[in-house]
Structure 1
Amino acid sequence: MTVDFRDFDKDLSDDSISSSDAETDINDDNMSSSGGEDGEEQQNDNNQDENHDNSDDEDEVVKAIKAEKNKPRDHPPSIKCDDFIVDISFHPSKNIIALANIVGDVLLYEYSNDETKLVNTLELHTKACRDVEFDNEGLIMFSTAKDKAIIATDVETGKLKQCFENAHEDPIYKLLALDSNKVVTGDDSGTVKLWDMRKQNAIFSLKIGEDYISDMITSEAQKYLVCCGGDGTLTSIDLKGSKIYTSSEQYETELTCMGLFRSETKLLVGSSVGKFYLFNWKEFGLHSDEYVGQKHSIQCMIPITQNIVISSGEDGILRAAHMFPQRQLGIVGQHSLPVEALDISHDGRYIASCSHDNDVKFWNISYFESIDTLIDVNHKQNKKKDMINNLPSSNIKNASDFFSGLV
């Protein structure tokens, strides 16, 4: 018979026990053979019940862990590269993503929930490829690099269509494709040029600052091109008139990235101090609102809906924020090192991010379609809590969510 030593110790420590009680306990242990068998069976039954309960508890935990591991993939596996990835770009209609690396190559990958497969390696530039973009139809891929060249490549064949060598006097930092023939480029010294691939020379060249051009953006109408950069100034260019339209006040920080929201009526600008500045479109002289997005530098952003932006940067964490009203939603995903670039897939289902550890990760963001309509404008925000909240796409799950099915 199994003896429970916890009860035995408790009995010995009980000062109120009498000698007669002790003798009674001993006599009870010396029961008849039939009584002893009944007692032993009862004890075994109790132990079995207890073990069964513990087994049930363990089974539930194991089941929960296995359920997490056995969930079907809802995003493509990561791409691990040998070289540093500087920029990424999704194809506008196919499940293809282009990766520009530091040795001047562009890698084309096909992706699905099950695999990511390298389909082509294009050795295009002699120095670090800094930007890669597809045209709207996905037929032409444009790239630019530290070697000052602008290259147009046929996506289907991988053959060179056009190359402008030494297109700028200084290394080119940013490229924006306007259509299948026209692109805009900005270099390390603040010069912006508009190119037509059917012509030999730039349509215009404007010196708009003294530091690098970090990002450029335009609306669907393509009347104004807005540029930001290391000098902390937002400059807009009249594309039709080939002249500067307006320049903002100079901010005491680098302006790093931009995004359009609310049917292209609102322009959001990120900065190296973690602040967001909100401008009304065509009113680029002074921001209408600002707020702190994070403590670290914001290097890149991507609009997800008319109201929601995902941004990342120095701390390697992808964060989502609702802009109207301004509210932190939580963590979309994370890298161990700073994130360099973000892009969104043609169907809006995934975003991809590349970081300094040479990897490209995919995140399923389809849940934002429902979140966008559920934001309560009257809800009082707990910003500290929302900043660390892990959203469904995050690699790290909230403990409360994981164990919610066990209670």
Structure 2
Amino acid sequence: MGQIFREFDKKSSDGNSESESSNVSYVSSDAEEIETEDDNNPSCDEAFEDKDTADDCQDNEDEVVKAILAEKNKLRDHPPPITTEDFIVDISFSPIKNLIAIANIVGDILLYEYSNEEAKLVNTFELHLKACRDVEFDDSGLTMYSTAKDKVIMATDVETGKLKQCYENAHDDPVYKLLCLDSSKFVTGDDGGTIKLWDLRKPGAIFSLKIGEDYVSDMITNDSQKYLVCAGGDGVLSSVDLKASKLYTTSEEYDAELTCMGLFRSDTKLLVGSGKGKLYLFNWKEFGLHSDEYIGQKQSIQCMVPVTQNIVVTSGEDGILRATHMFPQRQLGIVGQHQLPVECLDISHDGQFIASCSHDNDVKFWNISYFESLDSIIDLNHKQDKKRDMINNLPSSTIKNASDFFSGLL
């Protein structure tokens, strides 16, 4: 979220949502041109007295009609976009079924059930008095956690909508980020650089630790949950020993805020995005200094989501979702796009969709099932055309040049 959210805090974005491109619209436009040809151009029957020629022309028109009908009847491969009245701060997929939670700037959580045919609002939770900051499901998908600028942390039963736990004045500063550890434990980070560990079964925090001077932008841990790694607005990566409840290491100070993180290669590699568009790669447990760095994009990277052990999708200020193969590093192309900056990314429980929310007050879904086979067909020894790959549209993009993409892989 970073600087983008902080600029939009307390106000809604008034940008209009981008309508999805589709091949249907292009074909339909061609059909209208056929139907509204200039009167000076004779019809098939007028132009040709020869009956065979007229029949051929009619056959061509029939083919156009068939193409239009076939495109209209084509099954969608992803849910339709969701557009809301209020600025969207965060999104989170349920880990067990086709539900997505949308947190907005007025303090509400909207729960949508999605399919390829529709995205249906099933519940609205009016939880917070001020702008939401984060919404997350626990691993069971039964409990939904939310944080807000009102310094309140809430745990809500997803099925009944009843409140399970409420921590008022949970931090001295507004809570910025929340991470679930299991069905009862979670950690939070605030605008002042303090993190806290919580257990739903206890009335207060288990421990509190000051790790920096600026907001905690993201937090991550692996399956062992021994170390919690925190990215900060002060450009420092801090790690905490959760078992010992103490600071483990702090990194060198980078030249921009650290905004987002992801784990790869069986949780042995940590990737960190920055406000200047750089990506830093760390070995797990070696958080003091990165082992490699890349230029991800020219604008700020605000969010990322790992989609395979090798591939990450990032986005941010330019509104473009980019896929990058990290080992070795190679740009793959554009997964999707928004007209305005992207605030958040998440991946569905079955790995089929990525959802992205932007300052258009919309959520878009991108079918990324093709990534399952992408690793096996990429020839990493093939010389890369970086300029082409940076602007190349992958099959999920609403702008189609997928054939060009696949032809360049082998």
Bin the TM-score by the shorter chain: 0.7 to 0.9
For 2:376, what is the secondary structure of its paired residue? Answer: helix
Change (3 A) 1:305 1:99: same
Q: Specify the code of the residue in structure 2 equivalent to 1:116.
A: A
Q: Specify the code of the residue in structure 1 equivalent to 2:399.
A: I
2:309 aligned residue: 306
1:366 aligned residue: 369
Q: Tell me whether 1:281 sits opposite 2:284 in the alignment.
A: yes
Displacement of 1:198:
1.4
**Contact 2:395/2:402 (CA < 8 Å) preserved in 1?**
no
Report 1:124-203 matches (<5 A). Answer: 124-203=127-206
Displacement of 1:179:
1.1
1:11 aligned residue: none
Change (3 A) 1:246 1:61: farther
Displacement of 1:377:
1.8
Displacement of 1:71:
2.1
Q: Tell me whether 1:266 sits opposite 2:269 in the alignment.
A: yes
Change (3 A) 1:399 1:323: closer
2:45 aligned residue: none
2:18 aligned residue: none
Q: Specify the code of the residue in structure 2 equivalent to 1:178.
A: L
Q: Tell me whether 1:106 sits opposite 2:102 in the alignment.
A: no
Q: Tell me whether 1:206 sits opposite 2:200 in the alignment.
A: no
**Contact 2:393/2:402 (CA < 8 Å) preserved in 1?**
no
2:325 aligned residue: 322
1:13 aligned residue: none
Displacement of 1:398:
2.0
TM-score normalised by structure 2 residue count = 0.84
For 1:372, what is the secondary structure of its paired residue? Answer: helix
Aligned residues: 359
Q: Specify the code of the residue in structure 1 equivalent to 2:278.
A: K
Displacement of 1:65:
5.6
Displacement of 1:290:
0.7
The separation in 2 between residues aligned to 1:44 and 1:97, in whole angstroms, is 61
Q: Specify the code of the residue in structure 2 equivalent to 1:136.
A: D
| Root mean square deviation of aligned Cα | 2.0
Q: Specify the code of the residue in structure 2 equivalent to 1:265.
A: T
The separation in 2 between residues aligned to 1:152 and 1:216, in whole angstroms, is 19
For 1:386, what is the secondary structure of its paired residue? Answer: helix
Q: Specify the code of the residue in structure 2 equivalent to 1:361.
A: K
Displacement of 1:70:
3.7
The separation in 1 between residues aligned to 2:96 and 2:363, in whole angstroms, is 20
Q: Percent identity?
A: 78
Change (3 A) 1:328 1:57: farther
For 1:210, what is the secondary structure of its paired residue? Answer: coil
- Residue number among 348, 351, 363 corresponding to 2:351 in the alignment: 348
The separation in 2 between residues aligned to 1:143 and 1:337, in whole angstroms, is 25
Query: For structure 1, which segment, 85-94 or 56-65, has the greater mean C-alpha deviation from structure 2 after superposition?
Result: 56-65
Change (3 A) 1:393 1:239: same
2:16 aligned residue: none
For 1:290, what is the secondary structure of its paired residue? Answer: strand
1:88 aligned residue: 91
The superposition leaves residues 35-86 of structure 1 with CA deviations (integer Å, 9 ceiling, x where unpaired) of: xxxxxxxx954x964x666666666666556544442101111111011110
The separation in 2 between residues aligned to 1:281 and 1:67, in whole angstroms, is 50
Q: Tell me whether 1:250 sits opposite 2:253 in the alignment.
A: yes
- Residue number among 328, 331, 335 corresponding to 2:334 in the alignment: 331
The separation in 1 between residues aligned to 2:250 and 2:262, in whole angstroms, is 18
- Residue number among 290, 293, 316 corresponding to 2:293 in the alignment: 290
Q: Specify the code of the residue in structure 1 equivalent to 2:294.
A: Y
2:224 aligned residue: 221
Q: Specify the code of the residue in structure 2 equivalent to 1:91.
A: S
Change (3 A) 1:376 1:156: same
Q: Specify the code of the residue in structure 2 equivalent to 1:222.
A: Q
1:6 aligned residue: none
Change (3 A) 1:399 1:216: closer
For 1:302, what is the secondary structure of its paired residue? Answer: strand
For 1:157, what is the secondary structure of its paired residue? Answer: coil
The separation in 2 between residues aligned to 1:334 and 1:118, in whole angstroms, is 24
Bigger relative contact order, structure 1 or 2 (CA pairs below 8 A, ≥6 apart): 2
Change (3 A) 1:381 1:265: same
